[in-house]
Structure 1
Amino acid sequence: MNWEQLLSLRRKGDTNKRIRKEQDETRLGFDVDYDRIIFSAAFRSLQDKTQVIPLSKTDFVHTRLTHSLEVSVVGRSLGRLAGKRILERHPHLKEVHGYMFNDFGAIVGAAALAHDIGNPPFGHSGEKAIGEYFKNGKGQEFKSQLTDKEYQDILDFEGNANGFKLLTQDRKGVSGGLRLSYATLGAFMKYPKESLPKRPTNHISDKKFGFFQSERNAFSGVANDLGLIQTRDGDDISFSRHPLTFLVEAADDICYTIIDFEDGINLGLISEDYALEYLIKLVKDSINTKKYNTLAYKEDRISYLRALAINTLIQDAVSVFMDHEEKILNGTFDVSLMDKSKYGAQVKDIISLSVEKVYKAQEVIEKEIAGYKIIADILEVYTDALVQKKENKASNYHNLVLQTLPEFYRRTDVSLYEILLNTCCFVASLSDSSAVHIHNKISGKQL
């Protein structure tokens, strides 16, 4: 892969190539990507979606929105630092084509901003709940009517694939979704493969999947334009990652490792004593002990340690990226940047403690259980109404139910696969509170 092609400013529908030197420096195309994402309805819904603690009433606990903003900030720093070193190593990118180190920061920042845009309510349990409905719930009756890949799309419903769909899908009068640059879409594509075959290799990009069958052609178009290396062909297509995807992933890894740990301490689920003990190797070269000892409040002490730890991991991730740039460009770098971090042991210890004390906390488990029931019930009501409508068997009740769906999701003049997938995507679009509200309505608990 080559950087000039990977930094494509092209958008869907373009007839002419966009030249970097011809860009308006006051508002670059990559900056436009960030703006379009942040003003989108899908992004706004993240303000009430679970990061770790579902339906938390505590102001300082992160939602998907605050998490995404923080990942974007970290991603922007990673991109700028890496971009500066890439331009030093490949000076023609600047001298001939006009690329600047801020371009890399803008691409990674925008992709990082969107990285959770397709996630369902109730955190990662929301993805599992959708799949569970089709695996063991009433939805399994549709298996025989779908292809293997179509069924796998909903069985392993994936927030990353839904995110790509949201960013690129055509709507009536709107072609290409948000029409982001291909560089940003490429950096966003964390798992550039179909839902089948599942985990064909141990390569990090094969861990999950990144597009539904409905976006197969759109995905291939972006990947081919960027010059991503095709790793399978024929009936099963997949590609190597865009190199900047590794920085987007690192930004997410850094934030959830350190900030979920911080949330756990602020919630009282993790003792503050663990903070310095677990972070000391990350901050020992940068901590100002005198300043730390003057901080009277726990939140300020934790915030200070968090900032230092994140900065340490940013610097380390960029070093790993540059050390392995050649492998990353030829598609043979097969793990995350954090897996190669010299602080890998400390990161694993922090994540293990967060899993034990935060992710498995009673409050989290109880609300995830409720999320399974809520999502299954909503899926059952809407899939039944849509399928009955498609088969001209809809009752008055079914027609009333359909009136509560946004118009975009009411279509029945499409395949069964598209109806089921669109219903899953509707459920995924709901905030935690909206899902609870709809469930109360359809259950007759609220008028």
Structure 2
Amino acid sequence: MDWEQLLSLKRFGDSHKRIRKEQDETRLGFEVDYDRIIFSSEFRSLQDKTQVIPLSQTDFVHTRLTHSLEVSVVGRSLGRSVGQKVLAKYPHLQNIHGYQPNDFGAIVAAAALAHDIGNPPFGHSGEKAIGEFFKNGNGKRFKADLTDKEYQDLCDFEGNANGFKILTESRVGRLGGLRLSYATLGAFMKYPKESLPKKPTSNIADKKYGFFQSEKEAFVDVAQELGLVNRGTPQDLSYARHPLAFLVEAADDICYTIIDFEDGINLGLIEEEFALEYLIKLVKNTINSKNYYALSNTEDRVSYLRALAISTLINEAVELFMSHEEDILSGKFDKALLDVSKYQAQINDIIKLSVEKVYQSEEVVDKEIAGFKIIDGILDVFTDTISNHHQGTLSNYHKLVLKIFPKTLDLNQENLYNNLLGICNYVSKFSDSKAILTHKKLKGTHF
């Protein structure tokens, strides 16, 4: 892969390339990507979507929106630092083409900002609930009418693929979706493959999948424009990651490792003394003991250690990226950056404790159970409605349900898969609160 091609400023939906040296430095194309994402309705809905603690009423627990903003900030730092080193290594990118370190930061920041934009309500349990509906619930009845890959898309409904759909899907008046640069779309694609075959290798890029069958053509267009390494066959599409996707992943890994842990401490789910010991192990080489012991309360102590931990892992990720940069460009590097970190043991200890004390806490599990039933109930009614709509057998109830769908949701397509995926995409955009309200409305219990 070639950095000049990977840093394409061409916008999705454009027919022409954009030259870096011709860009307006006061409003660079990559920065416009960030603006378009942050002003989108799909991004705004993240303010009421679960990060870890569903429906929390506390001030300091993260939502998907605050998490995405934090990942974006970390991503920007990672991108700028890597950009500085890449331009020093390949000076023609700056001297001839005009690329700057901040370009790398802007690309990673925008992709990181959007990394959860396709996630359904109720966190990862929302993804599982949609998949479960088609795998073992009433949605199973559609299997015979779908191809294997179409059915797998629904059974393993994936927030990353749904995010790519949101960012690129055209509709009336909005051709090319948000019309982001190809570079940002490439950095967004952590899992550049189809839903089948499932995990064909141990390569980190094969852990999940990154696009639905409905966006297959768009995905290939992005991959070819950027010159991503082709790892698959015409029958089973798979590409190597865009190099900057490793930085988006690292930013996410850093934030959920450290900040979810911080939430657990502040909520009292993880004992302070026990938790701080774990963080101190990670930052022991940079901690200023005098400053640390002068702090008088838990929140300040945790905040201080969190800042040091994030800084430590940013520096580590940059160093790892540059030491493996040639293998990353050739498509040979097959692990997450932090999976080869010298801090891997400390990171794994923190994640293990978060899983035991936070992710599997009674509060989280109880609300995930509720989320499963809510999404299952909504999909049951919505898929019945579109099925009866196409068969011309709508009941009066289903006629009313049909009226609540937005005009942007086209349910008159002949292809059943596109209609079912359209419903899933529509539900995925619900905030947690809207999902609860919609479920009550469909059951007649919201009055």
Q: Normalised by the shorter chain, which TM-score bucket?
A: over 0.9
1:386–1:410: 8 Å Cα contact kept in structure 2? no
Pair 1:200 & 2:200 matched: yes
Per-residue displacement from partner, 1:42-72 (whole Å, max 9, x unpaired)? 0000000000011111111000000000000
1:402–1:410: 8 Å Cα contact kept in structure 2? no
Partners of 1:413 and 1:201 lie apart in 2 by 36
1:9–1:183: 8 Å Cα contact kept in structure 2? yes
Aligned to 2:445: 445
Q: How far is 1:15 from its partner?
A: 2.9
Partners of 1:12 and 1:364 lie apart in 2 by 39
1:401-440 alignment, distance < 5 Å: 401-440=401-440
Aligned to 2:73: 73
1:72–1:112: 8 Å Cα contact kept in structure 2? yes
Partners of 2:237 and 2:325 lie apart in 1 by 24
Aligned to 1:20: 20
Partners of 1:441 and 1:355 lie apart in 2 by 34
1:45–1:430: 8 Å Cα contact kept in structure 2? yes
Q: How far is 1:12 from its partner?
A: 2.4
Q: How far is 1:403 from its partner?
A: 0.9
Q: How far is 1:25 from its partner?
A: 0.4
Equivalent residue of 2:313, what SS?
helix
Partners of 2:386 and 2:14 lie apart in 1 by 36
Aligned to 2:303: 303
1:79–1:107: 8 Å Cα contact kept in structure 2? yes
Q: How far is 1:410 from its partner?
A: 4.8
Aligned to 2:260: 260
Pair 1:339 & 2:354 matched: no
More off after superposition, 404-413 vs 378-387: 404-413
1:51–1:62: 8 Å Cα contact kept in structure 2? yes
Q: How far is 1:283 from its partner?
A: 1.5
Aligned to 2:400: 400
Pair 1:185 & 2:166 matched: no
Partners of 2:307 and 2:415 lie apart in 1 by 50
Equivalent residue of 1:407, what SS?
coil
Aligned to 2:36: 36
Partners of 1:112 and 1:37 lie apart in 2 by 10
Partners of 1:80 and 1:282 lie apart in 2 by 23
Partners of 2:59 and 2:270 lie apart in 1 by 18
Per-residue displacement from partner, 1:129-168 (whole Å, max 9, x unpaired)? 0010011111000000000000000000000000000000
Q: How far is 1:393 from its partner?
A: 1.2
Q: How far is 1:414 from its partner?
A: 3.4
Aligned to 2:325: 325
1:60-139 alignment, distance < 5 Å: 60-139=60-139
Aligned to 2:3: 3
More off after superposition, 407-416 vs 22-31: 407-416
Equivalenced residue count is 447
Partners of 2:314 and 2:383 lie apart in 1 by 44
Partners of 1:252 and 1:62 lie apart in 2 by 13
Partners of 1:174 and 1:40 lie apart in 2 by 12
Partners of 2:177 and 2:34 lie apart in 1 by 14
Q: How far is 1:395 from its partner?
A: 1.7
Partners of 1:202 and 1:82 lie apart in 2 by 26
Partners of 2:368 and 2:126 lie apart in 1 by 8
Return the letter of the residue paired with 1:126. G
Partners of 1:83 and 1:279 lie apart in 2 by 29
Partners of 1:44 and 1:326 lie apart in 2 by 38
Identify unmatched segments of 5+ residues in structure 1: none
Partners of 1:39 and 1:82 lie apart in 2 by 27
Partners of 1:192 and 1:244 lie apart in 2 by 13
Q: How far is 1:422 from its partner?
A: 0.7
Q: How far is 1:274 from its partner?
A: 2.1
Per-residue displacement from partner, 1:202-235 (whole Å, max 9, x unpaired)? 1000010000000000000000000001111221
Per-residue displacement from partner, 1:186-215 (whole Å, max 9, x unpaired)? 000010000001011110000100000000
1:108–1:244: 8 Å Cα contact kept in structure 2? yes
Q: How far is 1:427 from its partner?
A: 1.2
Equivalent residue of 2:52, what SS?
coil
Aligned to 1:239: 239
Partners of 1:75 and 1:414 lie apart in 2 by 41
Aligned to 2:288: 288
Partners of 2:241 and 2:283 lie apart in 1 by 31
Aligned to 2:168: 168
More off after superposition, 412-421 vs 98-107: 412-421
1:78–1:251: 8 Å Cα contact kept in structure 2? yes
1:84–1:101: 8 Å Cα contact kept in structure 2? yes
Equivalent residue of 1:278, what SS?
helix
Pair 1:250 & 2:250 matched: yes
1:390–1:413: 8 Å Cα contact kept in structure 2? no
Return the letter of the residue paired with 1:427. V
1:258–1:306: 8 Å Cα contact kept in structure 2? yes
Partners of 1:390 and 1:277 lie apart in 2 by 60
Identify unmatched segments of 5+ residues in structure 2: none
Q: How far is 1:409 from its partner?
A: 2.1
Return the letter of the residue paired with 1:395. S
Equivalent residue of 1:445, what SS?
coil
Per-residue displacement from partner, 1:354-409 (whole Å, max 9, x unpaired)? 00000000000000001110000000101111111111111221110011112222
Equivalent residue of 2:408, what SS?
helix
Partners of 2:410 and 2:404 lie apart in 1 by 9
Pair 1:59 & 2:59 matched: yes
Q: How far is 1:419 from its partner?
A: 0.8
1:165–1:211: 8 Å Cα contact kept in structure 2? yes
Partners of 2:14 and 2:426 lie apart in 1 by 29
More off after superposition, 327-336 vs 290-299: 290-299
Equivalent residue of 2:231, what SS?
strand
Equivalent residue of 2:243, what SS?
coil
Q: How far is 1:446 from its partner?
A: 1.1
Aligned to 2:371: 371
